[in-house]
Every structure is written in C-alpha cells, then in structure tokens.
Amino acid sequence: MNAIDRPMPPLNADERTTLESWLDFHRTTLAMKCEGLDDEQAATASVPPSGFTLTGLVQHMAEVERNWFRRVFAGEPAPPIYPKADPDGPDGGFEVAAGTALSDALAVWHAEIARARAHCAEHALTDTGRFMEQDVSLRWIYVHMIEEYARHNGHADLVRERVDGATGV
C-alpha cells in the first residue's frame, strides 16, 4: 500500500486552497485504502455487523460527489449512478452488485470528482446551489464533503485492516 502520492495540504494558504487541498487529501486517502486489493477483497464486508465494503464506500462517495456538486450546486438533473435495490436500505452506492469490479467503481468515482472540480473552478466560495429549498454555499459544500470523507475514511481504515491487516495512511 502507499504507491499513491498524497500531498499534505498547505499549512498556510488562502481559504479556497485550504478547503480544496483538504478535500483532495481525503479523496486520495480513500483511493489509498483501496490500493492493492482485488475485487473480492474490496467487496468484503469485514467488520460485522456492518455491511460496509471498500467498493461500496467508493460507489457511495461517487454518489455523494454527484449529489452535492452536480445536483445541489450545479442544479443538474443527474440520476443516481447506483440505484438502491431497497428504497428503505442504506444510502446510495453502498450495495455492491455481484461481479462489480473495484476498478470500475474507482473510474466512476474519479469521473465524478473531475466533474465536481470543473463545476467548482468557475465559482466563488460564496456562490450557491439549492438544498432543501435553501441556498447552500460552495464553502459549506466543501466543508461538508471534507467531513463526509473523513468519516468514511475512518470506516475504510477498519474495513481495510480486517481485510488484509494493512494499517496506516
């Protein structure tokens, strides 16, 4: 593990650089947690009773990227990538279909990240989208996304350690 370069966010930068750097740090952390696993390992729910898998986390974060940056911020009518089998089940993406390749999930996730970056590049932190019939700033979305990744990267730590004993990052 750790062939992926994860730059440390700058210690003294402007607000936007700080937010974008921390978001990219956490995105890279999730990629690092998946590095070196085969499809079976990445689809293993290894911390009972949780059904979390690394492939499911990657798929979920693709859905989260799509939701906040495309639907909420840009106002795009972007349908779910991974429709839920059970409407009362976990948030989108966590369910992993049989035969799902980790590389495919990572490619979809990376594409959503690229779209998010493109949407944000032309906007100020004070620009807004709509969420729950209220304005929500790009600044708020960045902070929320950092929190979302940090929380799920903690899950990824536990899942990865149980899959093959790898710790760190």
Provide the residue ranges of all domains of the chain, joining segments of one domain with +: 20-164
What is the largest distance, in Å, between two alpha-carbon atoms of the chain?
46
Q: Quick check: 19 and 129 in contact, CB under 8 A?
A: no
Question: Nearest to residue 80, comparing CAs of 68, 63, 97, 102?
Answer: 63
Residue 168: the pLDDT is 75
Q: Exposure of 33 by Cβ count < 10 A (0-12 exposed, 13-18 middle, 19+ buried)?
A: buried
Residue 127: the pLDDT is 98
Residue 169: the pLDDT is 66
Q: Quick check: 68 and 117 in contact, CB under 8 A?
A: no
**Tokens encoding 109:** 């996730």
Residue 83: the pLDDT is 82
Residue 2: the pLDDT is 59
Residue 46: the pLDDT is 84
Question: Nearest to residue 125, comparing CAs of 110, 151, 149, 145?
Answer: 145
State whether residue 135 is helix, strand or coil.
strand
Residue 92: the pLDDT is 82
Distance CA 115, CA 107 (A): 12
Q: Name which CATH class applies to 20-164.
A: mainly alpha
Q: What letter would DSSP give residue 78?
A: -
Residue 138: the pLDDT is 98
Q: What is the pTM of this model?
A: 0.93
Distance CA 42, CA 18 (A): 31
Residue 166: the pLDDT is 87
What residues are paired with 129 via a beta bridge? 136
The mean pLDDT values, 10 residues at a time, for the chain of 169 residues are 80 97 97 95 88 95 97 95 78 88 98 97 97 97 98 94 85
